[in-house]
Amino acid sequence: MLQNNPVLMKLKKKFNKKNIKAEGIVRSTSKSYGFLEIDSKKKYLIASKNMKKVMNGDKIIGSIIVKNNRKMIYPEKLIEPFLKKFIGNVYKINDLIFLQPIYPYLKGVSLHCLCAVNTSILKDGDWVLGKLTSHCLNQKNVFEAKIIDFIAQKENPLAPWYVVLTRYNLEKSSPEIKKNNLIYRNNSLKIRKNLTHLDFITIDNSNTKDIDDAVFVEKISNENYSLTIAIADPTEYISNNTDLDNIAKKRSFTNYLPGFNIPMLPKILSEDLCSLKQNEIRPVLACRVIIDAKGNILYKDLEFFLAYIQSKSQLSYDNVSNWLEKLGIWKPKNKKIKKQIKLLKIIYDIRYKWRKKNALIFPNYPEYRFNLSEKKEVLGIFIENRRVAHKIIEECMITANICAAFFLKNTLGFGLYNTHIGFDVVNANSASNFLKKYNIFVQSHEIMTLKGFCKLHKYLKNLSNNYIYNRICKLQAFGELSLIPQAHFALGLDYYATWTSPIRKYSDIINHRLIKSVIMGLKNIRKPEQDVVTHILNRRRLYRIAVKELEKWLYVQFFFKYYKNNQYLKATITDIFKNGIQVRLINNGAFVFIPASFIHQLKTEITFNTELGVVYIHNKIYYYVTDIIKVRLLSIKKENNTIIASII
């Protein structure tokens, strides 16, 4: 009846005659059709045949037409393509090369490749970096691309690593430099102390090659201990603004990926000439700090100086922890090493107690590690617990970084400080209002002070309510870097500046140079540029994203091999989204998504509150973030490395 309605036909004719245009973003669906999203409330259908002319994410202009009494979009003009540079797989049809972009919503898109590489070396499934050269809405009426870089062969075990690193424009190998091109400057030779007679030891993982810290302790009275922290000094080889310095600056960090590390410095430096290997004499930047029986640092006696040391023993975390915990058969090779370990344990005990009373100590969350074969296949996933030896060295390094912050503040007034502001004004108010619901009354201005922030966290820790604690942590700011001294609220410290990993972190190289400049009595010492700080923060963000993406890839590989559908596992709810929840499996750390339809059958009866981190069913809270639940694995989506489950 409506089809032959004369009024409707007249309106349709009038509407089409006007040729009304619409501008928006193309959105694909799991079906062959899609939509043009004009804004958050308005969208128009794009028919299947017309979706072949566009890609998800394209910004286009199209004509609105009416078909079967429904407004639809006919794509006409490309404003901005979604796809520019992309990672994709190669596949061949006869003698033609095509690229399949690796994006969840571009699964059916094929791009004819205008190859700039030798096509004979390309095989189906190989990974490449491509660039879109022609869009289907342009004159050629076809999608075309060219290969701008070859990433990896399909069967290369390191393909996932290379793909992720390429996606974020990160280096895939260590920098190279010939040993005879390295120059040891000896600028500080005359003022370096010879400490090679002291019993310095190192404690690291058993396979660590880039050893950057050594420690030595002695008891100097009934009340006080002297702790000397010696840190490798790569700045004796790396002059400011040289090619080697620029390499380190660009990389900013050693990139620690599961089963594959990419050093910041050439291995000849990080694993040889600068590494504090046993029995090798090495130049160091050292800090000597006096600590009393209550764990207080006696700042009046604090000393930074340049020295040579010779590590007397290269120990492992597991062996030292086993010996202290009276496990296994390992024991120190002599009485001097045994004495050092015992004194270090005392330093840990008194400094930990001091921090627990005067600063903040956050919970130790489990760290998950992949057990990989030589072919980079996931054999298993295990939880790596931080044992007593880890904590001993960590406490020594935290002490050293507190001392560096104090030294830089009082000598220069600037440096590269690790900072954390706690809450900003808006989130402090939100935290105060949230806590009122649980009869916890705090003033927003109070928790914006270091003292008030520490008081709140200690109270919440004693409260033992994981949900409340999680919501308050969610409102906190992220850690930053500052050129001027600022507090680190998350550590509960007035100031904090790292310098203990110059082999692995460029920010620590910067602080090394500043501290050394003061020691050597240099004048007109310049503050680092803000651009360098911004670059370091950006690189840190990219490294973290790359690690998470690679872990998702490895988890999917692991689950494909070892897990079956309908397996029941325990998980912790980690986040609430608009269309489901994210959980983390307790026994292996994998993040799993549970769509709304697998939580409750009727969509109209379930509500996800992302701000509060809760799920309502029939207007009643059923699930909180931090809840431990049982889930059932359902499927694995390889195209976006997602594991799907349902709540039991």
Residues with a known catalytic role: 204, 210, 212-213, 317, 504
Q: Which of 598, 610, 549, 30 is nearest to 255 (CA)?
A: 549
Q: What is the dihedral of CA 609, 615, 621, 627, to 10 degrees?
A: -120
Q: 467, 440 in Cβ contact below 8 A?
A: no
Distance, CA of 610 to CA of 164 (rounded, Å): 29
Q: 60, 45 in Cβ contact below 8 A?
A: no
DSSP class of 200: -
Q: 201, 315 in Cβ contact below 8 A?
A: yes
- DSSP-assigned beta bridge partners for residue 488: 420, 493
Q: Which of 361, 585, 404, 582 is nearest to 492 (CA)?
A: 361
Distance, CA of 559 to CA of 643 (rounded, Å): 9
Q: How many helices, marked H, and strands, marked E, lie in the chain?
A: 14, 31
Distance, CA of 490 to CA of 327 (rounded, Å): 34
Residues making up the chain, counted from first to last: 648
Q: Which of 473, 490, 467 is nearest to 431 (CA)?
A: 473
- CA angle (80, 84, 86) in 5-degree steps: 145
Handedness of CA 321, 322, 325, 330 (dihedral sign): negative
Through-space distance between the first and last CA atoms of the chain, rounded to whole angstroms: 49
Q: 234, 505 in Cβ contact below 8 A?
A: no
Q: 24, 60 in Cβ contact below 8 A?
A: yes
Query: What are the φ and ψ backbone dihedral angles of 340, each rounded to 5 degrees?
Result: -60, -45
Q: What is the DSSP string of 67-99?
A: ETTEEEEEEEEEEE-S-SEEEEEEEEETTEEEE
The residue with tokens 């930990």 is 352
CA 468 distance to own-chain centroid: 25
CA 576 distance to own-chain centroid: 21
Q: What is the maximal distance between C-alpha atoms in the chain?
A: 104
Segment holding 303, helix H or strand E: strand 303-310
Helix ranges, 240-334 (H): 243-251, 267-268, 317-324
The residue with tokens 């409750």 is 600
Distance, CA of 389 to CA of 271 (rounded, Å): 22
Query: What are the φ and ψ backbone dihedral angles of 354, each rounded to 5 degrees?
Result: -65, -45
Q: 210, 263 in Cβ contact below 8 A?
A: yes
Q: Is 167 left (phi over 0), alpha (psi -120 to 50) or beta?
A: alpha
Token pair recorded at residue 241 = 């603004």
Q: Which of 217, 212, 204 is nearest to 336 (CA)?
A: 217
